[in-house]
Amino acid sequence: MATDDSFSSPPAAEDPPQKTAAPRYRRLTPPLAVWIVVLACIGAIAYLQRPGVMDHQIANLVSYLLAFIAVMTAAVWFSLFSGHAFLVRMLLLIALLTTPVVFLIIFRVERVSAELVPQFVYRFAPPRDALLEQPDSVESAEEVDLSPTPMDFPRFLGPHGNLSVSGIELARDWEANPPREVWRRPIGAGWSGFSAVNGFAVTMEQRGERELVTCYEVPTGKLRWSHGVEARHETVLGFVGPRSTPTIHDGRVYALGATGVLRCLDGATGEPLWMKNLPAEFGVTVEEDVANVAWGRAGSPLIVDDLVIVPAGGPAGSAVSLVAYDRLTGEEIWRGGKRQISYASPALATLDGVRQIVIVNEDTVSGHDVKTGATLWSHPWEGNSTANATASQAVVMDGDRVFLSKGYGGGSLMLGVSKNGGWATEELWREPSLLKTKLTNVAVKDGYAYGLSDGILECVALDEGERMWKKGRYGHGQILLVGDVLLVQGESGELALVAASPERYQELGRIQALNAQTWNNLCLYDNYLLTRNSEEAACYKLSLLK
């Protein structure tokens, strides 16, 4: 039967196909390769920051590089491949590129810590030391009396030049008998320490374009005299100002500035008696001197008999290790050694019955005849005064031994020195992991050395070269042995009292003595502790053991 199509229902209209808008972008998760790079960098940073893995300042540099790689890997992936909106990706890229530039336009690196952590200040702010008044007038017209007394601390590292003070016993309970602040005052920049004689303390400081030697009253902090020369040393890594500590001897003050100006001053008035410009004396300009000794001259003058002896320096390849002047007239007496200078100071010692001058040079340690400066013996001690520099003193010990320590992974070395048929040296032991003293020195008591090793206090048995303990992170500060306790000046300004015992580490007390980066050595006159950094100086009275 035929079907009448006219009566058939019209076919239902098909719904028009729904159009789905294509996404403008696709958010993607980072691929495995990005995660591997980022997590590997984070893991490596965490490993490098563990104590003892490597020299800590080098670990910090590598950590900065790894952090940069991690951030840039994530940023590049996000900007190019993440699938986010073009505007979002470009804004992030612009922010990454411009933020560091803007930051560095506004701020500058004023200095770095000893572990190479930068410290930023407002770019257009004048240096702090330039804000201090020049001490053209003093606070007292009376002459200073620098006659010696048994309580004196007349030179770098104390009365015996060995980082220790004897004949005084400090109270060990700082809870019951805390250090009492006597005075505090602003001071010019620099890493010089105090020397103190007969109630007066002498140091060096930078104020603007003048490098000063200044004398203060120990009990009051009053300025008694100052002497300045037009000189300024400044680097980001080493910061501003003089580095060495003046020597007080027979009423005179001997001071060596960071640019090489050696002064002999009348201790009563601060008037100059004679002066020497070492770079000019040894044939280099100030610029050439900085190229050879990048962080400024730091050797403190040594008085031996009628001589004042300092590291000399000179052109690369023809430098002089030491020079001796007549301490009264300034007449040059001798030159000794042919190695470039380091940041250590000369010391008087007796080895195998022979009195001599021992000095740590740029890449050697050597002994020199007192009368002529002739080199008696020399031994390699790796270093470079523009890179892995040496600042720690040689410590001469009984048994004709010389102990050396340094940072930058150098560690410790014990030398034997003898003159049987001609001078000779022998390495008794060497341990790169022990007493890595970057800016500091060690104090020795009963055959044990105490020092800040990569910023951590460490005790080492010197006969065996064996660590007894390593504990207490103080940064690259300074220490001073007083009887059977250590005064530890932390890099961030704290002051701690620690038992000088090989049995165990025991901190007995702690105060915040100063409020900025502190690399300066301590000075103890009687029970007055003088401490300073590049911004302020303070005096504390320490309680004595009853």
Domain containing residue 409: CATH number: 2.130.10.10
d(CA 169, CA 499): 12
Least reliable range by pLDDT among 132-146, 191-205, 297-311: 132-146
Using CA atoms, how far residue 14 sits from 10, 18, 20, 232, in Å, is 12, 12, 18, 91
DSSP for 318-343 reads S-EEEEEEETTT--EEEEE--S-B-S
- First-to-last alpha carbon distance for the chain, in angstroms, is 133
Residue entry with tokens 């500060």: 477
At residue 78, the 3 state secondary structure works out as helix
Highest mean pLDDT among 49-58, 102-111, 300-309 belongs to 300-309
Q: Distance between CA 43 and CA 66 in Å, rounded?
A: 10
Which one-letter DSSP state was computed for residue 15?
A: P
Residue 160 lies in a domain: yes
Note whether residue 438 is domain-resident: yes
Segment 13-34 shows an average pLDDT of: 62
Beta bridge partners of 452: 457
The proportion of the chain whose per-residue pLDDT surpasses 90, expressed as a percent, equals 72
Domain that holds residue 81: 32-122
Q: Name the phi and psi angles at 512, rounded to 5.
A: -95, 100
pLDDT of 133 reads: 87
Check pLDDT > 90 for residue 49.
no
Looking at the domain assignment, is residue 201 inside a domain?
yes
pTM equals 0.88
pLDDT in tens, 332-387: 999 999 999 999 999 999 999 999 999 999 999 999 999 999 999 999 999 999 99
pLDDT value of position 1: 43
In the numeric block, the tokens 């009365």 are attached to: 159
What value, to the nearest 5°, has the Cα angle with vertex 192 and ends 385 and 123? 80
What single-letter DSSP state applies at residue 19?
A: P
pLDDT at 139 exceeding the cut of 90: no
Q: Are residues 502 and 467 part of one domain?
A: yes
pLDDT band at 18 (very low <50, low <70, confident <90, very high): low
- Residue 4 above 50 pLDDT? no
Which of the pair, 84 or 40, is modelled with greater confidence?
40
Same domain, 367 and 504: yes
Q: Which helix (H) or strand (E) holds 458?
A: strand 456-461
Q: Which residue has the higher pLDDT, 258 or 106?
A: 258
Final residue belonging to a domain, choices 88, 122, 156: 122
Q: What is the dihedral of CA 246, 249, 251, 257, to 10 degrees?
A: -20
Residue 6 lies in a domain: no
In whole angstroms, give the CA distance from residue 337 to residue 313.
10
Residues 155 and 82 in one domain: no
The answer to whether residue 22 scores a pLDDT higher than 50 is no
Residues 520 and 443 in one domain: yes
- What does the alpha-carbon distance between residue 193 and residue 204 come to, in Å, rounded to a whole number? 8
Same domain, 334 and 383: yes
For the chain, give the percent of residues with pLDDT over 70: 93
What is the C-alpha radius of gyration for the chain, rounded to an integer number of angstroms?
31
- φ/ψ of 46, rounded to 5, equals -60, -40
230 within a domain of the structure (yes/no): yes
Angular region, 428: left φ>0, alpha ψ -120 to 50, beta rest = alpha
Q: Are 212 and 204 in contact (CB under 8 A)?
A: yes
Q: What confidence tens digit (pLDDT) does each residue in 301-331 have? A: 999 999 999 999 999 989 999 999 999 999 9
pLDDT value for 420:
86
Sign of CA pseudo-dihedral 329, 334, 340, 345: negative
Nearest to 417, CA basis, from 459, 474, 358: 358
User: Is 357:346 a contact under the CB 8 Å cutoff?
Assistant: yes
Tokens 């009423």 sit on residue = 251
pLDDT classification of 3: cutoffs 50, 70, 90: very low
Residues 153 and 118 occupy one common structural domain: no
**Same structural domain for residues 397 and 249?**
yes
Tokens describing residue 468:
């007894």
DSSP state of 361: B
pLDDT of 63 reads: 87
How many domains does one find in the chain?
2
Average pLDDT over residues 392-406: 97
Q: Which of 137, 140, 243, 242 is nearest to 199 (CA)?
A: 140
Domain assignment of residue 25, yes or no: no
Residue 139 lies in a domain: no
Asked whether residue 8 is assigned to any structural domain, the reply reads: no
Task: Kindly state whether residues 517 and 418 are assigned to the same domain.
Answer: yes
**Residue matched to tokens 């009396």:** 145
pLDDT band at 79 (very low <50, low <70, confident <90, very high): confident
- Parallel, antiparallel, or unpaired for β 164-165 and 478-482? parallel
Looking at the fold, whether 163 and 109 belong to one and the same domain comes out as no
CA dist 225 → 142, 143, 204, 249, 272 (Å): 10, 9, 12, 17, 12
Q: Are residues 76 and 203 in the same domain?
A: no
Which among 507, 527, 532, 418 has a CA at the least distance from the CA of 199? 527
**What are the distances in angstroms from CA 462 to CA 359, 434, 442?**
20, 10, 11
The C-alpha atoms of residue 499 and residue 487 are separated, in whole angstroms, by 9
Instruction: Answer with the residue of higher pLDDT: 101 or 266.
Output: 266
Per residue in 506-523, pLDDT tens? 999 999 999 999 999 999
Q: Looking at residue 137, what is its pLDDT?
A: 55
What pLDDT sits at residue 11? 54
pLDDT, one tens digit per residue, over 407-423 is: 998 999 999 999 988 99
**Interacting residues of 142 by C-beta distance below 8 A, sequence separation 6+:** 224
Angstrom CA distances, 472 to 54, 431, 451, 468, 496, stand at 18, 21, 11, 14, 10
Closest among 313, 305, 298, 303 to 441, alpha carbons compared: 298
> Which residues are bridge partners to 311 per DSSP?
322
Q: Please count the CA atoms within 13 angstroms of the CA of 45 that sit on its side-chain side.
A: 16
2 pLDDT higher than 80 = no
Give me the helices (H) in 239-308, please. Answer: 278-281, 286-292
pLDDT of residue 343: 98
Angle at the Cα of 225 from the Cα atoms of 219 and 227, rounded to 5 degrees: 135
**Would you call 250 helix, strand, or coil by DSSP?**
coil
Name the band, by pLDDT with cuts 50, 70 and 90, for residue 10.
Answer: low
Task: Indicate the average pLDDT of the chain.
Answer: 91
Do 199 and 311 lie in one domain? The reply is yes
What are the angstrom distances between the C-alpha of 316 and each of 290, 321, 340?
11, 12, 7
Which of these, 414, 405, 461, 471, lies nearest to 433 by C-alpha position? Answer: 405
Looking at the fold, whether 237 and 347 belong to one and the same domain comes out as: yes
Strands (E), 327-437: 332-336, 347-351, 354-360, 364-369, 375-380, 395-397, 401-406, 411-418, 424-431
